[in-house]
Amino acid sequence: MSLGATLATAASGLQAAQASLRAVSDNIANVNTPGYVRKAVNQSQQVVDGVGEGVRIDGVQRVTDQYLQMASLTASSDSKRWGAVSQYLDNAQSLFGDPSSDGFFFNRLDKVYGAFATAADDPSSTLLRSQALSSTEDFLTQSDRINSQIVSLGNTVETQVSAGVGTANNLLDQISKLNADINRSQLVNADSSGSANIQSQLLDQLAGLMNIRTSPRAGGGVDVRSVEGVLLAGDGAAKLTYNSSSTTPGYITAQPAGSSNQQPIQLTSGELRGLMDLRDQELPKLYDQLGEFVSRAVDQLNAASNASAAYPAPATMTGCDTGLDLPSAVNGFTGTSTIAVVDAAGVMQRNVAIDFTASTISVNGAAGVAFTPATFLANLNTALGAAGSATFSGRALTLNATGGAGLAIDEGTSRKTGRGFSQFFGLNDVVKTTGFTNYATGLQPTDPHGFNPGDPITLRLSTPDGRPVRDVTVTVPGPPNSNMSDLLNSLNNNAAGVGLYGAFNLDANGELSFAGAPPLSPTVSIVSDNTQRGVGGPSISQLFGLGAQERSTRAGRFQVSAALTADPTKMSMGKLDPTAAIGQVAIRPGDGRGALGVSASGDVPILFQPAGALGQVTMTLSRYASEFGGAIGRGAASADTRKSSAAAVATEAASRRQSVEGVNLDEELVNLTTYQQAFNASARMISAASDLFDALLKIV
């Protein structure tokens, strides 16, 4: 070997050792730098014409493990998802109060029953009546407060999702730009580990927001894709957009770089997935179940109140908006009910007995006169005669007594959708509503649907995670196809309706619900609803309680009757004696049986529709309150457990990744010694070659 070759070989060794020493010193200097990945110099033998001539530096490499990196990213996504869910469910649980304290929400209903039981002991006490109404108002106020704050949590979550998508777009843009930097460095065989480390940290942040898939690029850097394989970052960055409205589930679309198409992408983990689950599933479950609980509690309070009578009897009874025309409202009733006209002393003046099963109305025990749903109002007015009148306006029934007389009703055995005649029409409610809260309409497939023909309702079918499947616009069918069965057929039409993805069903109580068909098992939401029942009537979604927007304010639509709050003496504390003859006392002062009925209303088994964590069940209000409260606690505890489990997995994955990528000082000190010795050896060889050159020059 010539001295020149020897010198070149030694110089290459010197350069390799020097490069390795730089890498080791950089590793040691960054031992405590978060996200730093240790690096090593790749070396290979340099061969010229088959002869070894030193060492070649192939580049500086970050010491990484692709499997551990993906495991860490996946675990981080899961941890962030359940961390978000746990945080907000814990906040939602706290809204209901401490179960061990008197202020616990579900204890307030017991206070209502207790207040009415106390009032029953002294029905003449205005103070006790006021306290019973105050306890009821407190329960309703708290339910409205909790419902409003749950909805407010949803709005906060919505804001966080929008902000998170903006952050994700910024991260994707930076990752894409770093790809270009890394590629340029590798083209000239320069050290790109600094840019690669920054990119790795950005990927960790992005994985916390959404689940991603990464793959190395041939020229350096990474490609970032969604679960479906949509390219989110590579040579350019995709633009993510959060699509949402107050009536439909939210979803995210990606517009790849250089494309004008927006593609919905699937998120299975990450903070964004957790927040979207909260917004579209977890929080709606809470306010839907709260609405179901409060509406059934109010139904029972009103059922007991409508089965009671006030002393002195009121001259007017004004019902609530049923959302129905009178024939549809009357049709389907069974059993009997009694409307009594009494004087100021509670003496029976006129007894109007309605037999819905036989479709007859009788006066003062005389033979019954037949009626139909279409002639019910006229027949009732005839039966009341000069003693009173009945009107139906704004979908509400009103009864009036004349000549200083009053009205009292005995529900008897009358029933429709589990409600008596007076309760169905809301003639003697202690709690009034500001909207539709009981979606058991009583409509049957053979009943006229009543909605204006040609009015449109637009429905969105979405996957369980919110991605849209299809929007369909259904128009209300008109005569002669005007029954509920025809409306159902239009909604379930395969071409213009939801028939390919599921079906709407009308149960025996007239409640309309949608069930998605596998394998997609989609959900349905309301994009827009421009339907109307008659003139000024409710829309399809309002009458049947369809869509998140309709359900979100359900628990806040109740208030104690303003007439009772202004004058508690008008409360129905007693009972009507429907068997009293004309001229005999039918209602009496000091009768507390009506108030006792209200106090016991929580112990009556009733049907609850599916809501939140519970399916369709029949149980008492007290039992349902216990189940509901337990479900809230279990939901928060389950989310916290999953959060802890996911965090433990993420910690372990990060630890194992760090054991490979992190700096080990002992190992680096050994490398430092090794490369120092190699540097010294190469330097000595260069020095020896120099001495030989000098000796040769002297000889010459």
Return averaged pLDDT per consecutive 10 residues of the chain, 700 residues in all.
74 82 83 81 79 77 77 89 94 90 89 95 94 96 96 95 97 95 83 85 94 90 93 95 92 94 94 96 94 96 96 96 96 97 96 97 95 97 97 96 96 96 97 94 95 96 94 91 92 96 96 94 96 94 94 94 95 96 95 94 92 90 91 89 88 81 81 84 82 79
317 by DSSP, 3-state: which? strand
Q: Which two tokens stand for residue 483?
A: 């029954």
Q: Which two tokens stand for residue 461?
A: 């079918």
Distance in angstroms (rounded) separating the CA atoms of residues 251 and 161: 10
Residue 94, burial from CB neighbour count under 10 angstroms (0-12, 13-18, 19+): exposed
Phi, psi of 218 (to 5 degrees): -60, -35
Q: Which two tokens stand for residue 312?
A: 């002195």
The CA-based dihedral angle spanning residues 371, 375, 378, 384, taken in that order and rounded to the nearest 10 degrees: 30
pTM over 0.85: yes
Look at residue 698 in the predicted model and tell me its pLDDT. 82
Cβ–Cβ < 8 Å for 690, 698:
no
243 by DSSP, 3-state: which? strand
Most distant CA pair in the chain: distance in Å?
Answer: 152
Cβ–Cβ < 8 Å for 280, 494:
no
Q: Which two tokens stand for residue 400?
A: 């009036």
Q: How many other C-beta atoms are found inside a 10 Å radius of the C-beta of residue 619?
A: 15
End-to-end CA distance of the chain: 20
Look at residue 19 in the predicted model and tell me its pLDDT. 79
Task: Give the pairing type, strands 396-401 and 388-393.
Answer: antiparallel
Kindly report the length of the chain. Answer: 700
3-state secondary structure 282-299: HHHHHHHHHHHHHHHHHH
Distance in angstroms (rounded) separating the CA atoms of residues 439 and 511: 6
Sequence-ordered list of residues with C-beta below 8 angstroms from that of 372, at least 6 positions apart, any chain:
327, 359
Cβ–Cβ < 8 Å for 16, 57:
yes
Distance in angstroms (rounded) separating the CA atoms of residues 146 and 524: 26
Distance in angstroms (rounded) separating the CA atoms of residues 576 and 346: 9
Look at residue 480 in the predicted model and tell me its pLDDT. 66
265 by DSSP, 3-state: which? strand
Look at residue 656 in the predicted model and tell me its pLDDT. 83
Q: Which two tokens stand for residue 512?
A: 């309309």
**How is the chain split into domains, by residue range?**
3-63+662-699, 68-88+152-280, 456-544
The CA-based dihedral angle spanning residues 28, 33, 35, 37, taken in that order and rounded to the nearest 10 degrees: -10
Phi, psi of 49 (to 5 degrees): 55, 40
Closest to 330 measured CA to CA, from 361, 305, 303: 361
Distance in angstroms (rounded) separating the CA atoms of residues 437 and 426: 12
Distance in angstroms (rounded) separating the CA atoms of residues 599 and 595: 6
Phi, psi of 580 (to 5 degrees): -65, 135
Distance in angstroms (rounded) separating the CA atoms of residues 199 and 196: 5
Cα R_g (the chain), whole angstroms: 38
236 by DSSP, 3-state: which? coil
Sequence-ordered list of residues with C-beta below 8 angstroms from that of 61, at least 6 positions apart, any chain:
39, 40, 41, 42, 193
**Which residue is it, tokens 């009537």?**
537
Look at residue 354 in the predicted model and tell me its pLDDT. 98
Q: How many other C-beta atoms are found inside a 10 Å radius of the C-beta of residue 343?
A: 18
Distance in angstroms (rounded) separating the CA atoms of residues 93 and 286: 10
Task: Give the pairing type, strands 348-355 and 336-342.
Answer: antiparallel
Distance in angstroms (rounded) separating the CA atoms of residues 509 and 259: 51
Distance in angstroms (rounded) separating the CA atoms of residues 83 and 219: 37
What 8-state DSSP symbol labels residue 570? G
Cβ–Cβ < 8 Å for 452, 476:
yes
Residues linked to residue 154 through DSSP beta bridges, in sequence order: none
What 8-state DSSP symbol labels residue 248? S
**Which residue is it, tokens 């993805």?**
501
